[in-house]
Structure 1
């Protein structure tokens, strides 16, 4: 059951990032083309592209964790024995989960405070923009929790099965 949940979460996360990146590329391409062909640009394009990038950053953090994309210093765990290294990885995992939980709380608080303001060009609530932070950190914690046993044993996060990956991305 956990493996199926892991595969589904990873696939859903991956496809959401693909969708956000596709939208951002299309908006930027259309804006640049219009600017050079008609001497007019889309008023909201830069703003929307920026907010899509914010969403991609937060939603992609957990997936980057699963793929080993974050910076890691392994000198200390490599110098320790297997049991001590596992304990150290457990402490690191607890700190990461605690940090993610704290950031979810801070993100929700920030959404509440800033949600009454509207974005300049699109006039949507900043609540939707700041929602990326708690969602991204909750997703990060979920990815960490699903890969925790593998991380504690080997020190690496095994990505979910390749069958969950879109073609050409595994």
Structure 2
């Protein structure tokens, strides 16, 4: 049971990304169907698909961190090998995590300010603060995954053989 929970928590971004992408496809299909077949436009599908797409991008950024698929400059990587490379990669991950925490903090401030003014979305009538909340949530999730990678790298538990680096 513990292994199943562990597996689920380690892959939650993938499950959420699949769910968001599937719902994005369904929403776009509904919009096309109603607009061109029934000659009637659903305003809420366009707005909801925009919010789903934004959430998909931010959550998938965390998935990219897990897979080591973020864009990086590899000039230094070609010259540094072994333990020094491991230390440099750990410093880069921790620096990136600190930046994500910093941006997440200001994302929370913007979310709270938006919740205070009770601004709502045009078609759905949702509080805009909850829509903005995906930014700090995902940035803290990215920071958590970066710290997790740094820990696994320092304890020699990070499997870097399946990490995608460069273009194939």
Q: Partner of 2:142 in structure 1?
A: 140
Q: After superposition, where does 1:42-53 map in structure 2 within 5 Å?
A: 42-53=42-53
Deviations 1:129-159 (A, max 9, x none): 1110111011112222222244456794867
TM-score computed with the length of structure 1 as normaliser: 0.81
CA distance in 2, matches of 1:63, 1:93: 14
Whether contact under 8 Å (1:78, 1:85) holds in the other structure is no
**Which has the higher mean CA deviation after the structures are superposed, 83-92 or 37-46?**
83-92
Q: Distance in 1 between matches of 2:57 and 2:153?
A: 23
Aligned to 2:112: 112
**Preserved CA contact (<8 Å) 1:21 1:56:** yes
Query: 5+ residue gaps in structure 1?
Result: 160-170
In structure 2, list runs of 5 or more residues that go unmatched.
Answer: 164-168
Residues 31-74 of structure 1, C-alpha deviations (whole Å, 9 max, x = no match) = 10111111101111111100001111111111111123211222
The one of the two structures with greater contact order (alpha-carbon pairs below 8 A, sep at least 6) is 1
For 1:92 and 1:99, locate their aligned partners in 2 and report how far apart those are by CA, in whole Å. 11
Cross-structure match for 1:166: none
Between the two proteins, the alignment pairs up a number of residues equal to 158
Write the distance in 2 (CA, Å) between the matches of 1:72 and 1:155: 19
C-alpha distance in structure 2 between counterparts of 1:60 and 1:12, whole Å: 11
The answer as to whether partners of 2:120 and 2:126 remain within 8 angstroms in 1 is yes
CA RMSD of superposed structures (Å): 2.5
After superposition, residues 147-166 of structure 1 pair within 5 angstroms as 147-151=149-153, 156=160
Aligned counterparts of 2:90 and 2:4: Cα–Cα separation in 1 = 24
